[in-house]
A and B are shown apart, each in its own frame.
Chain A
Amino acid sequence: GNSVTQMEGPVTLSEEAFLTINCTYTATGYPSLFWYVQYPGEGLQLLLKATKADDKGSNKGFEATYRKETTSFHLEKGSVQVSDSAVYFCALRRIGGTDKLIFGTGTRLQVFP
């Protein structure tokens, strides 16, 4: 079946550190891949997405590249800020069936000054 696996958190970093949150997926066909962010007490916001192999999604300094050969979509940021503290969800969506988003379990990021 289709699934998403994320690294478990929390990930704790100092401000300006480099961030990587790993995400791998299992899917048939050609899914689109997404990263959502959830700030404390809020709903989910789309952070970035990629719709085909080798695409790179980017937003607010975050980047992720759709790697079909390794079935991965790792989230990276060169220099994190305290305001980046949130829960990050990797997700995939493929056509057919319920066309729903399939989420990973989420990774909490805590950035300290």
Chain B
Amino acid sequence: SQTIHQWPATLVQPVGSPLSLECTVEGTSNPNLYWYRQAAGRGLQLLFYSVGIGQISSEVPQNLSASRPQDRQFILSSKKLLLSDSGFYLCAWSAGRFSVDTIYFGEGSWLTVV
């Protein structure tokens, strides 16, 4: 069966520090990968998605970047964090791009920028 893991689960970072969140998927190949953010009291916003190695699309302009160095690895980064980057970050995957395909989420990473 397929599983998705992301880490770290929780982190507190000072303003201006770098960020790296990592996500890996097991049990499947060539998944579509996604990074979502859930800000406090708000819904989920798609940040990045990837349909293959090295292929990253950004949904909204922001202080973050994403990379996909391997087929089942997706990394969310920042060179200098802002207070507004605080939130709950969720990695997700799906087997295909058809609307019937379910998107599955990881456990999430809580980021607090202080």
What secondary structure prevails in chain B residues at the interface with A? Answer: loop
Bound Cα distance from A42 to B57, whole angstroms: 26
CB distance from B110 to the nearest CB of A (A): 8
In the complex, the chain B residue whose C-beta lies closest to that of A6 is: B43
What range describes how many residues of A lie at the interface?
Answer: 20 to 34
A45 close to B42 (CB less than 8 A): no
Given known A-B contacts A42-B108, A43-B108, A44-B90, A98 and B46 have beta carbons under 8 A apart: yes
Report A66-93 CB contacts with B as 1/0, cut-off 8 Å. 0000000000000000000000010001
Establish whether residues A44 and B105, one from each chain, have CB atoms under 8 Å apart when the complex forms: yes
Q: Is A18 an interface residue when CB atoms closer than 8 A count as contact?
A: no
Given contacts A44-B44, A46-B104, 16 further A-B contacts (CB under 8 A): A30-B99, A34-B102, A44-B92, A44-B105, A51-B99, A89-B44, A93-B101, A94-B99, A95-B98, A98-B59, A99-B32, A99-B97, A100-B34, A101-B103, A103-B43, A105-B43
